[in-house]
Copies of this chain bind each other. A is one copy, B any other.
Amino acid sequence: MSKLITPRRLQGFNELDPMRQLQFDQMISKIKDVFEHHCFVPLDSPVLELSEILLAKSGGDIDKEIYRFSKGSTDMCMRYDFTVPLARYVAMNQNTLDFPFKRYQIGKNYRGERPQKGRYREFYQCDADVIGSETLPLVYDAECIALYPECFKSLGFEIQVEISDRNILNGIIADVKQEDKINEILTLLDKIDKIGRNSVIEELTTLNIPVEDSKKLLSVADNKGSIKDIVNKLEGLSNNEKFIQGIENLKTIDSYLKAFGVSEENYIYNLAVIRGHNYYTGTVFEAFLKSNRNFGALGGGGRYENLAEYYTDRKLPGVGMSIGLSRLFDLFATNGLIPEPKKSIADVEIIPLGETLNECISLSTQLRKRGLKVDVASETRSFKNKMKDANKREIPYIIVVGENEVATKEYPLKNMKTGEQIILSIERIIAELRK
């Protein structure tokens, strides 16, 4: 035998315990269900893309987080999000797709960033996007926002989506004639939550923005409330076209959100929501757990005016929402918001006593056909150890099958929690367990 290799995973990579994985998979399946009821369809783009395609935006510049390599003469990357592959797909299929194209994708993405708690190099993300041809009405922005409370309700949680429209801040930045510093300003305004109003004004001063103007920017960005609050506070504050359009957009979205049945508990406007990605051009939003805003944004999204500009001249505006599933699951599990998983998937385990294994298997087959999850303790251990093991794994019910049970076709169904045991026919066992 050669020297053994220490079994280990790559750093920053994770795999859940199978019973946790079951919970994770159930979460995915509930979210899929919400998307499909809104008529989003699944796209399963490859994990690998040509580097030329994936890095089109940066002109081929290598981001050190990206897994990029060559095989033969082919230069390729592992995807780091679903948006670039979506752009590639839509551009490839633009002549056959029906627009608006509503697609979702749930799967793994790859970023070789420094591993830290709750951040993995391989992580699940879940995206729903709507892509239009030439135009895309605001109703889809509202639908993407409405997906958050629906998804989270299906998981048993209440969310609050914080919404803004980038045009509002862009308009006010134009008003104070600081368009050339727009990215720096937005980066600072994005920090209001973290460092506070005064620090933001101070930092704006270092950009050579007059205090008067900084205050004006803050008076817009530092606003949070209902659509009424926002309108009361801001309407008439500027004649800038974008500013006015932004406010109008939020009013329109608000009326759609009500039609989508989104409760006012589940969203709020927050003009300091900016989102890091600089491709968002209109609506932007972030979703927070209502009971624990300090968990940070669990997802976000927004409107981008031109999805596939690197691959086609056709204008393809889109809006999308995203949830960071791996981070969310880790966070919720660590904080006890997801119950500890069961120790076994079995509804019932059948334990042979003596030479009855064949009968146990037959019985398991009959129970399984009626929708039960059934295991048979077939391994070569003593009966006593099998009972001990069933206890340890907290199997809810067991059935011990000895010669007598084989003869009578009546079986002792034992509730392992209460210790109660009743002798029943197969049909009555099924009825009992399906309760």
Contacts and interface: CB of A to CB of B under 8 A. Distances in A.
Interface in A16-70: 16, 18-19, 21-22, 24-25, 29, 32, 36-50, 52-53, 56, 59, 67, 69-70
Interface in A121-148: 122, 132, 135-137, 139-140
Interface stretch (A1-9, A162-170, A219-227, A422-430): A1-9
Q: Which of A5, A6, A13, A91 has the most CB of B within 10 A?
A: A5
Nearest to A51: B10
B311 A4 contact: yes
Nearest to A59: B2
Interface string A355-380: 00111011001101101111110111
Interface string A379-416: 11000000001001100000000000000000000000
Contact of A15 (B37, B43, B346): B43
A309 interface: yes
Contact of A48 (B10, B139, B362): B10
Contacts of A49: 9-10
Nearest to A142: B361
Given A53-B5, A103-B18, A46 B372 contact: no
Contacts of A2: 59, 310
Contacts of A91: 7
Contact of A309 (B1, B99, B369): B1
B37 A18 contact: no
Copies assembled: 2
Interface string A79-113: 00000000111011000001110110000101010
Interface of A: 1-2, 4-11, 13-16, 18-19, 21-22, 24-25, 29, 32, 36-50, 52-53, 56, 59, 67, 69-72, 74, 76, 87-89, 91-92, 98-100, 102-103, 108, 110, 112, 122, 132, 135-137, 139-140, 255-256, 258-261, 308-313, 344-346, 357-359, 361-362, 365-366, 368-369, 371-376, 378-380, 389, 392-393
Given A7-B89, A100-B379, 18 more contacts: A1-B309, A1-B313, A5-B53, A7-B312, A10-B49, A11-B74, A13-B48, A15-B46, A15-B89, A47-B108, A48-B122, A69-B71, A98-B389, A98-B392, A137-B379, A139-B357, A140-B378, A259-B361
